[in-house]
Amino acid sequence: MDIIIVGCGKVGSTLLEQLSGENHNITVIDKDASKVGRVTNSYDVMGFVGDGTSYSLQMDAGVEEADLLIAVTGSDELNLLCCLFAKKAGNCRTIARVRNPLYNKDLHYIKEELGLSMVINPEYAAAMEIARLLRFPSANKIDTFAKGRVEMARFKVQQEHKICGNSLSQIRTQYKCDLLICAVERKGEVCIPDGNFVIEPDDIISVIATPVNSNYFFEKIGADTHKVKDAMIIGGGTITYYLGAQLQNMGIKLRIVESNLQRCEELSDLLPKTMIINGDGTNKELLLEEGLANTEAFVALTNIDEENILLALYARKQSRAKSIVKIDRSSFDEVIRELDVGSIIDPKYITANYIIRYVRGMRKNSTENSIETLYKILDGRAEAVEFLIEPDCPLIGQKLKNLQTKDNLLIGCITRKRRVLIPGGDDSFQPDDSVIVVTTHTGLKEITDILRR
């Protein structure tokens, strides 16, 4: 597939990292020659230095033959203009990153009027992910499928949890709830487990179930399942605004600490039910005075990664709060995860996930996609992919136990006419089913890719 990416910043570079191994012909455009040089030296891509809104530059970059143009510069208006020109010049599909809250309520209108294939708001997407975690604080990460009817929760097993020492088959028999433990990370190694796999303390497990069944299971094994009642947020940026609006609707008492007085006044107008505190979020005395020791959730959303990490470590020392940290640079991922700072939110990876899902599911000369949802899980070493089963699928009617599927692959869930099934060997695919596949094999594009070749 021929893809043009306008913008070689954090999101653009992350997209290149993910897409470069999937056999696409990629061309990048950026005003900064050093950024273009860096990515062309690192990846097998063609680069152009200049303004992505330039008609002549887009033509030089091959927009007439391109299948997709992705605009992820730092300017919303520039991104929209790039996409508009690309539609006129090459009639290719287009994706724009749009971050300004002023546009958020009008995104559907913008998408329709400009003929965009996708509009992605990284800050809004990050805020929604944080809100899901505060609904179930024991989870490190929660991904949703089938329009919210199915969830995958990532969870670290503790010594006191009742599933320790039990095999997966024993767990399913004992707890009699419809769910599937579909992936396990142990001492840095990732596996797709079978029924004989025995759970040990410190395993990080990924569980697929409906929200109700997931909650029931975690309650039975002794995990904390209550929604947090209050939260403290450090930093008053755009993610904080989106998150604050969501938490207000969830009835969560919220305190926001922001050092800029003007921004505090803006947030007071935007979030009238929220306590806004003008102060230095790194001041330990201030945090303790504002109730850090008793808060149920602590979210570090400043623009400095190191500050967020230190704040989370301090919060975990002073309280039992669920801690969530925003990270914008991933150069030291392994080190950060060993620090046990809690859940880590990376807006650029969330954005890249959405775009890669769309790219992976694209079909030439069609507006339809074969992939409904895609998540990179377990630090990118596995994927959870949701496929829609179409009437002409050759796998329809075949019992799952008879399919010659790849190793390290599980069919985790089938959603059929609003009913969620955790499938067994005698189940089969039917037209219009939504099917979730979990695997360490990356790059699945069609449901038939689950088969051995």
Q: Are residues 211 and 116 in the same domain?
A: no
Of the candidates 391, 383, 370, the one whose C-alpha atom is nearest the C-alpha of residue 446 is: 370
Q: Tell me if residue 442 falls in helix, strand or coil.
A: coil
Which CATH number covers residue 176? 3.30.70.1450
Q: Are residues 275 and 234 in the same domain?
A: yes
Q: Tell me if residue 42 falls in helix, strand or coil.
A: helix
Q: Are residues 198 and 265 in the same domain?
A: no
Sheet-wide strand order for 371-377: 371-377, 382-388, 434-439, 409-416, 419-421
Residue 349, φ and ψ in degrees, nearest 5: -70, -35
Residue 146 lies in a domain: yes
Residue 360 lies in a domain: no
Q: Are residues 145 and 47 in the same domain?
A: no
Other CB atoms within 10 A of residue 432 CB: 12
Q: pLDDT tens digits, the chain, 453 residues: what are they?
A: 899 999 999 899 989 988 887 888 999 999 999 999 999 999 999 999 999 999 999 999 999 999 999 999 999 999 999 999 999 888 899 999 999 888 888 888 888 888 999 999 999 999 999 999 998 888 888 888 887 889 999 989 999 999 999 999 999 888 877 889 999 999 888 899 988 999 999 999 999 999 888 888 888 898 888 889 999 999 999 999 999 999 988 899 999 999 999 999 999 999 999 999 999 999 999 999 999 999 999 999 999 999 999 999 999 999 999 999 999 876 666 677 777 788 999 998 888 888 888 888 775 444 455 788 888 887 778 899 999 999 999 999 999 999 999 999 999 999 998 899 999 899 999 999 999 999 998 888 889 999 997
Residue 269 lies in a domain: yes
The token pair at 440 is 């360490």
Residue 359 lies in a domain: no
Domain count, the chain: 4
Task: Give residue 142's identity as a one-letter amino acid code.
Answer: I
Domain end residue (candidates: 186, 220, 254): 220
| CA dist 95 → 119, 121, 261 (Å) | 6, 11, 36
Dihedral, 371, 18, 4, 305 alpha carbons, nearest 10? 120
Domain of residue 22 covers 2-120
Between β-strands 93-97 and 25-30, what pairing exists: parallel, antiparallel or unpaired?
A: unpaired
Q: Are residues 205 and 235 in the same domain?
A: no
Q: Are residues 69 and 91 in the same domain?
A: yes
Strand partners, 152: 143, 208
Which CATH number covers residue 265? 3.40.50.720
Residue 296 lies in a domain: yes
Q: Tell me if residue 143 falls in helix, strand or coil.
A: strand
Q: Are residues 37 and 92 in the same domain?
A: yes
DSSP 61-97: TTTTT-SEEEE-SS-HHHHHHHHHHHHHHH--EEEEE
Whole-angstrom distance, CA of residue 94 vs CA of residue 117: 5
Opening angle at CA 294, ends 278 and 314, nearest 5: 70
Residues 6 or more apart whose CB falls under 8 angstroms from that of 222 comprise 160, 161, 162
Between β-strands 230-234 and 204-209, what pairing exists: parallel, antiparallel or unpaired?
A: unpaired
Q: Tell me if residue 254 falls in helix, strand or coil.
A: strand
User: Model's pTM, two decimal places?
Assistant: 0.84
Residue 45 lies in a domain: yes
Residue 225 lies in a domain: no
Q: Are residues 248 and 341 in the same domain?
A: yes
Integer-rounded Cα radius of gyration of the chain: 23
Q: Are residues 185 and 277 in the same domain?
A: no
Domain end residue (candidates: 154, 186, 220): 220
Q: Are residues 276 and 190 in the same domain?
A: no
Other CB atoms within 10 A of residue 144 CB: 17
Domain end residue (candidates: 53, 87, 120): 120
Q: Are residues 252 and 323 in the same domain?
A: yes
Q: Are residues 116 and 6 in the same domain?
A: yes
Residue 357 lies in a domain: no
The token pair at 399 is 């019992």
Whole-angstrom distance, CA of residue 73 vs CA of residue 96: 9
Whole-angstrom distance, CA of residue 408 vs CA of residue 418: 28
